[in-house]
Chains A and B, each alone.
Chain A
Amino acid sequence: MTDFTIVLRSLRVRAFSTLVTIASVAVAVMLIIVLLTLRNSGKAAFERGSGDMHLLVTAEDSPLVSVLNSVFYANAPRRPITWARYQQLSQQAPWAYAVPTAIGDSYRGFPVVATTTDMFTKFVPASDAPWKLRAGAYFPAGDEGNWQAVLGSTVAQTTGLKLGDTIYLAHGYNPRATKPGSPDPAAKHDEHAHDDHDHDHDAHNEESEEAPGAAHVHMEFPTKVVGILEPTATPHDRAIFTNLESTWIKHAKDIRERMPPQTPPLEAPKTSADLRESEKLITGIYTRLVTRPGSDAPANLPQVFDLLRRDGSLTVAQPKQETDTLFGSIIDPINRIFIAIAIVVLITSGIGIMLALYNSMEQRRRQIAVLRVLGASASRIFNLVITECAAIGLAGALLGAAIALIGTRFAASIVLTRYGVVIEPHLSPIIIVYLLAATILLAILAGLIPAIMAYRTSVAKSLRPTA
């Protein structure tokens, strides 16, 4: 038996009050840890998504929107860049790569990124996670790669698609309207396609009957799954990659079918050679400048950045800078408010500890007096009460930390599924240790008044027999 046994027994006698107090401390500690963890991990996740690119070029309204739409697939980009402009731009600077992307189609809520094979051979999505195939192969360059798709790991996991499966991509990408993993709208079309061999016609009729806002499924262009990627812990894990030519052909067909009757009819294109220049559109360009070996910061980045910005039709973004802006101007102030609230909750729980002990002092005077008669000094009694407070603080802090660590992993999985942002919950152990120490210190401070009361307890008065 030790003094700590006395403390534990004392806590056990007031089990309900002790548990409620511990719970209130745990909630406060959990809030603080969750907020700090998600803040750090969220920022790291955003920085990770842009991989090794230096500049992102789009025709969006702002650099931040560019990054959100073209890297994190928040929405479909609204304005296109012509292929001719891309070719011109690709000659304007000493690029290590300039990977074109066209985002606008989707499959069951997942974005379809039309691109070139440079996406897989040159762009690196994360420094510790280069592209790697789990199964199959990348689609070949040019028309040879038409109607072939490579799936990000999350897409494969969520949809259960396998190599050789056929999918029908939908025109339009609106993550707010269609959540990732939603039922396949092509399934209905498929049933009709089996009933009627003329499924091109059938799909067209179905389209006219679709409710407003429903995705237009390109049933006439079955696309085959040829590759499945390993996870990269980036937003690209929830993307489906196809070649640009397929996307252009698909949309050129739509445009040509909807041309006014008075214009000369144009046949639906079969290959990229059948396309007009105006039908070759992209929505973004991932670029990286040539750097010295071992360096990630090219000296000519500011000049290239200025050069591109002179073209008013383009928006040039430095993804890492935009992430800092996003966190610095929007997310950090909100986080600070939440952390302030959490600190208030922690202080409130400290007051709770004080009240719980203060209220119990009347009942405990007799026990304290008995311990004094048994030989405990007043300072020992003071220490017992302080230890009791510290134990409540420690238990609350540990419980809060444990719930927070489990909770953040749960939250991370929700964020990944819903928003495609990969968050790996991590908080420096030093910060957790500081937080635990601060919580215990607060609990000890909260226990000072009850401890002084215990210290000053009159033994003779407290042991008088009650009536």
Chain B
Amino acid sequence: MPALSIRNLVFAYAHRDADNPFSLRIPTLTLDQGEQLLLSAGSGSGKSTLLNLIAGLMDPQQGSIEVAGQNVHALTGASRDLFRGRNLGVVFQTFHLLQGFSAIENVMAAMLMADKPASEMQPRAAELLSKLGITKINALVDELSVGQQQRVAVARALACKPALVLADEPTASLDPTNAAAAMDLLQGLCKEQNAALLCVSHDPTMASRFTKRITMEELIAASAGGTGFQPVREGAHP
């Protein structure tokens, strides 16, 4: 069972400016368990829209997105939210840690929202943070360095042992040293937990980290060939 399977996906914004229409078409995209894919995409290419669709935060007009064998868009309301919490981990460009919470509380919050048993929260969060080299687990996240904050974000994304991790420009806010360290940890931890990783980035140094990569041009070509991912402008598409 693949971690991610996209088929015949079509999405268009309902209230988009008529002079600037936008749609996203992806015939197929598959990511197996433990597989790691780098998607190189620039601004305005539709990468955020794709991630939101995979996370179930937006609904496509056509097609299906399955995560761990479950069609995300067949679920509604709270059950979709809970499914997302349990099966998807997300690492954001700007971390989006919960301000006023300690490092361990940020990780535990993910498990709480996914309705994980209370007895598992503390040990699991502490174990993850320890693996990622965070020693001050009770320090408020505001008191941590930027690199440490990103590591807390990685721990949070993997807290519920998700099938798929979405990383949206995970190193954009980090210096090269911290970026390399964060990616080592993210990729290592995903591999260890057999979680698939879809990393979206326009950082050229990331390419060497992934054996499976797709650039925007390749995606368009792949789409023409019946596989892959293609952002197109409405009207420009045949």
Q: Is the CB of A460 within 8 A of B57?
A: yes
Measured between beta carbons, the chain A residues less than 8 angstroms from B55 are 373
Measured between beta carbons, the chain A residues less than 8 angstroms from B93 are 465
Measured between beta carbons, the chain B residues less than 8 angstroms from A82 are none
Residues 1-45 (chain A) with a chain B CB within 8 angstroms: 1-3, 5-6, 9-10, 12-13
Q: Is the CB of A377 within 8 A of B77?
A: yes
Quick check: is B52 within 8 A (CB to CB) of the other chain? yes
Quick check: is B35 within 8 A (CB to CB) of the other chain? no
Question: In whole angstroms, how far apart are the Cα atoms of A367 and B77 in the complex?
Answer: 19
Within the complex, what minimum Cβ distance (angstroms) separates A373 from chain B? 5
Count class of interface residues, chain B: 35 or more
Residues 339-382 (chain A) with a chain B CB within 8 angstroms: 366-367, 369-380
Nearest residue, chain B, Cβ from A366: B96
The dominant DSSP class at the A interface is helix
Measured between beta carbons, the chain A residues less than 8 angstroms from B110 are 374-375
Residues 38-57 (chain B) with a chain A CB within 8 angstroms: 48, 52, 55, 57
Quick check: is B58 within 8 A (CB to CB) of the other chain? yes
Question: In whole angstroms, how far apart are the Cα atoms of A465 and B77 in the complex?
Answer: 25
Quick check: is B115 within 8 A (CB to CB) of the other chain? yes
Q: Is the CB of B81 within 8 A of A377?
A: yes
Quick check: is A194 within 8 A (CB to CB) of the other chain? no
Q: Is the CB of A376 within 8 A of B81?
A: yes
Of B58, B112, B114, the contact of A460 (CB 8 Å cutoff) = B58
Quick check: is A208 within 8 A (CB to CB) of the other chain? no
Quick check: is B222 within 8 A (CB to CB) of the other chain? no
Of B58, B99, B112, B113, the contact of A367 (CB 8 Å cutoff) = B99
Measured between beta carbons, the chain B residues less than 8 angstroms from A13 are 99-100
Quick check: is A448 within 8 A (CB to CB) of the other chain? no
Q: Is the CB of A376 within 8 A of B113?
A: yes
Measured between beta carbons, the chain B residues less than 8 angstroms from A376 are 81, 85, 113
Q: Is the CB of A373 within 8 A of B84?
A: yes
Q: Which of B101-109, B195-203, B207-215, B230-238 contacts A (4 or more CB under 8 A)?
A: B101-109
Residues 127-176 (chain B) with a chain A CB within 8 angstroms: 156, 160, 169
Within the complex, what minimum Cβ distance (angstroms) separates A458 from chain B? 9
Q: Is the CB of B92 within 8 A of A463?
A: yes
Quick check: is B14 within 8 A (CB to CB) of the other chain? no
Measured between beta carbons, the chain A residues less than 8 angstroms from B26 are none
Q: Is the CB of B98 within 8 A of A375?
A: no
Quick check: is A292 within 8 A (CB to CB) of the other chain? no
Q: Is the CB of A5 within 8 A of B105?
A: yes
Question: A6-B109, A460-B57, A463-B96 given as contacts; is B85 within 8 A of A374 (CB)?
Answer: yes
Count class of interface residues, chain A: 20 to 34
Measured between beta carbons, the chain A residues less than 8 angstroms from B121 are 1
Q: Is the CB of A2 within 8 A of B98?
A: no
Question: In whole angstroms, how far apart are the Cα atoms of A379 and B78 in the complex?
Answer: 8
Q: Is the CB of A464 within 8 A of B96?
A: no
Of B57, B114, B118, B122, the contact of A374 (CB 8 Å cutoff) = B114
Question: In whole angstroms, how far apart are the Cα atoms of A372 and B156 in the complex?
Answer: 14
Binary contact track B45-73/A, C-beta < 8 Å → 1, others 0: 00010001001011000000000000000
Measured between beta carbons, the chain A residues less than 8 angstroms from B25 are none
Quick check: is A459 within 8 A (CB to CB) of the other chain? yes
Quick check: is B94 within 8 A (CB to CB) of the other chain? yes
Question: In whole angstroms, how far apart are the Cα atoms of A367 and B98 in the complex?
Answer: 6
Question: In whole angstroms, how far apart are the Cα atoms of A316 and B12 in the complex?
Answer: 92
Quick check: is A466 within 8 A (CB to CB) of the other chain? yes
Nearest residue, chain A, Cβ from B107: A1
Measured between beta carbons, the chain B residues less than 8 angstroms from A370 are 96-98
Nearest residue, chain B, Cβ from A379: B78
Measured between beta carbons, the chain B residues less than 8 angstroms from A5 are 105, 112
Within the complex, what minimum Cβ distance (angstroms) separates A19 from chain B? 15
Question: In whole angstroms, how far apart are the Cα atoms of A306 and B159 in the complex?
Answer: 88
Measured between beta carbons, the chain B residues less than 8 angstroms from A378 are 77-78, 81
Q: Give me 22 A-to-B residue pairs in the complex whose CB atoms sit less than 8 angstroms apart, sorted by A's number.
A: A1-B118, A1-B121, A1-B122, A5-B112, A6-B112, A9-B100, A9-B105, A12-B100, A367-B98, A370-B97, A370-B98, A371-B98, A372-B57, A374-B156, A375-B84, A375-B160, A376-B85, A378-B81, A459-B57, A460-B48, A460-B57, A465-B93
Q: Which residues of B contact A (CB under 8 A)?
A: 48, 52, 55, 57-58, 77-78, 81-82, 84-86, 90, 92-94, 96-101, 105, 108-110, 112-115, 118, 121-122, 156, 160, 169
Name 8 extra pairs, CB < 8 A, besides A9-B100, A460-B58: A5-B105, A367-B99, A373-B84, A375-B115, A378-B78, A379-B78, A380-B81, A466-B94
